[in-house]
Structure 1
Amino acid sequence: MTDSIHSLRTSERTVQDQLDAFNAHDLEAFVATYAADAVITGVAPEPIVGAAAIRDFYEPRLQNPDLSCVIDRMVLFGDRWVVAQEQVVNDGVATETIATFDVVDGLISRASMLKA
């Protein structure tokens, strides 16, 4: 059974909540935007699979106060696919990234990052 709060959240709101948690360096809120079996590709050599692995990967990164992200543009395809043009800033250096998010029942089930 899906948590009703998550199922009522739009795909764009889920992605925005994920971004807000990332920028607040709030690991638990960040992980909470992902499904328990979510897969993230493009940020590590191998896919990051599952909430525990997402937490382990992002914990040291979110401790960096010089890490942030801005979404320049966000487009919704259907009701669950979000494509975002982002600027990920680390130590004052911005990297353009195209991110795709597959949002199911208010949680990100799959995310893929392509860095310029």
Structure 2
Amino acid sequence: MALQLAQQATASRCILASPTSCSFIQRVQRRPVPHRLAMAAVKGDVSAEAVVQRQLEAYNARDLEAFMDLLAEDCVATDAVTGAVLGTGRAELRKRYAARFQTDVYSELLGRLCLGSVVVDREIITGLPDAGVADCLATYHCKNGKIQKMEFVWQPRMQ
């Protein structure tokens, strides 16, 4: 069945999502699109994508100060599935990420969607406690060059 879907996807210029991530076929139109970061620079505005990219780079460098500088004072982090609040405000989030950055944590970006002030990243997180690895969808809501809200969907990987 998967082979048939892959052949159909190839024949109709579609992308077949990984069986572990989704079970649908997404049609992709191939056309040039102006790079969003370049467009933001022209407008003199900092795009949400640029903010989230800097946040990812600070996360991977485990640079707590650079990471915290990109969060709004009242930033909220939540579990998007349960609705549980993981942290509210920079002071509380600083404690969470200071502990996280003591490990060899690293986020590999697999894909990114951007629409206005919202950025959704598909990531694989490695270096978690107990040598853990997790698949993650992270949604970032940005305003005035800062991340206002972060929502996460986590799924531990079986090793």
Pair in the same fold by TM > 0.5: yes
Which position in structure 1 is the counterpart of 2:105? Answer: 67
Separation in structure 2 between the aligned mates of residue 93 and residue 51 of structure 1, nearest angstrom: 26
Aligned positions, number: 107
87-96 vs 19-28, greater mean Cα deviation: 87-96
Separation in structure 2 between the aligned mates of residue 89 and residue 9 of structure 1, nearest angstrom: 29
Which position in structure 2 is the counterpart of 1:31? Answer: 68
Which position in structure 2 is the counterpart of 1:46? Answer: 85
Cα deviation code 1:95-114 (max 9, x no counterpart):
11001000111110000000
Which position in structure 2 is the counterpart of 1:10? Answer: 47
| 2:143 maps to 1:84 | no
| 2:146 maps to 1:111 | no
- Can you give the 5+ residue segments of structure 2 that lack an aligned partner in the other structure? 1-43
For 2:47, give the aligned amino acid. T
- Can you give the 5+ residue segments of structure 1 that lack an aligned partner in the other structure? 1-6
> Residue 76 of structure 2 contacts residue 85 of structure 2 at CA under 8 Å; is this kept in 1?
no
Cα deviation code 1:30-77 (max 9, x no counterpart):
11111010001129x53311111110111011021x211011101012
Higher Cα Rg, which structure = 2
For 2:139, give the aligned amino acid. T
Deviation at 1:94, TM superposition (A): 2.8
Superposition RMSD in Å:
1.8
